[in-house]
Chains A and B, each alone.
Chain A
């Protein structure tokens, strides 16, 4: 997956796919492991969303790889990051309530989705870097700025595979000339880019890509 740039150099391209609402046949696509996992989830809403996201992920990966959705096999990193057992395509999945999104590409990717925060996040902001705290505080809309930084940090941490097992300050997201810039050098030496999209549902979707200036394509359906 690459896109031509004005220089002729192929830039890494990632696809952002919003999953459709839960459909027929979701359960049948899941592996035995996934069905067992669903069975351990006591909260019905959480269980239904898990089934929806896993089936949707399988459909997106099937469309991208040309393989049957139900035959895809996954491995999991130490903090639960899924990968295709035979490598190749990289992906990440996020959901917030009934909304779910998958990002896929040839380089490492991560995604997080969150509505604009209305809860008290003061304790979390204190875990951001001084530069991030200052930029959020000085912005015209601190709640939105916080939400944007959060989905970017989470997306990078999911891409790296650590999740929240490392301090949030290890991934710094600042604005430089209006552009979001990531510094994750404390835990990862790859160049990271982040892109944030705001959906009609009110969700902010943060996408992290292990590449400089990638091409990000927003799609509502699985890429053929």
Chain B
């Protein structure tokens, strides 16, 4: 799976919890939860969706380091490689 495909899965997972947000226009280096006003339940849903869609385990202790699109995509690239 290439970077664009991973990014698409991430974007769709975010769009699921923030259907009215301009997720495609989200800057790659902003804190997603803060920018889109996601609460912790939304954030957990995003991680859970990505885990299931990509069949990767994202340990909870990593969540705090995965706050931007760039951080998420580059982390997932390593996991699915």
Q: List A residues at the B interface (Cβ < 8 Å).
A: 41-43, 45-46, 79, 96, 114, 117, 119-121, 123-124, 126-127, 150, 154, 163-168
CB of B34 within 8 A of CB of A150, answer no
Contact of A165 (CB < 8 Å), options: B41, B48, B64: B64
B41 CB contact (under 8 Å) in A126, A150, A166, A167: A150
Contact at B34–A164, with CB atoms within 8 Å?
no
Rounded to whole Å, the gap between the CB of B25 and the closest CB of chain A is 13
CB contacts under 8 Å to A, within B26-70, are: 30, 34-37, 39-45, 48-49, 52, 60-61, 63-64
With contacts A41-B34, A42-B30, A165-B64 taken as known, whether A123 is within 8 angstroms of B41 at the C-beta atoms is: no
- Which residues of the other chain, B, contact A150 by a CB distance below 8 angstroms? 41
Q: Are B37 and A123 in contact (CB under 8 A)?
A: no
Closest A residue by C-beta to B39? A96
Which A residue sits closest to B59, measured CB to CB?
A167
Whether the Cβ atoms of B60 and A42 lie closer than 8 Å is: no
The reply to whether A165 and B63 form a contact with Cβ atoms under 8 Å apart is yes
Q: Given contacts A150-B41, A154-B40, list 5 more A-B pairs with CB under 8 A.
A: A42-B30, A43-B37, A119-B45, A123-B45, A124-B41
Chain B residues positioned under 8 Å from A154 (CB to CB): 40
Cα A216 to Cα B37 with chains together (Å): 30
Q: How far is the CB of B35 from chain A (nearest CB, A)?
A: 6
| Nearest B-chain residue to A167, judged by Cβ | B60
How distant is B12 from chain A, measured CB to nearest CB, in Å? Answer: 14
Distance in angstroms from A40 CB to nearest chain B CB is: 8
* Cα–Cα distance between A150 and B45 once the two chains are bound (Å): 13
- The listed residue (A42, A114, A124) touching B44 by CB distance below 8 A is A124
Find out whether the CB atom of B45 lies under 8 angstroms from the CB atom of A121: yes
Chain B proximity of A84: nearest CB distance (Å): 23
Alpha-carbon separation in the docked complex, A120 to B52 (Å): 15
Chain A contacts for B52, CB-based, 8 A: 123
The residue that B61 contacts in the complex, of A124, A127, A166, with Cβ under 8 A, is: A166
- Determine if B61 and A123 form an interchain contact, defined as CB atoms under 8 angstroms apart: no
Q: How far is the CA of A164 from the CA of B67 in the complex (A)?
A: 13
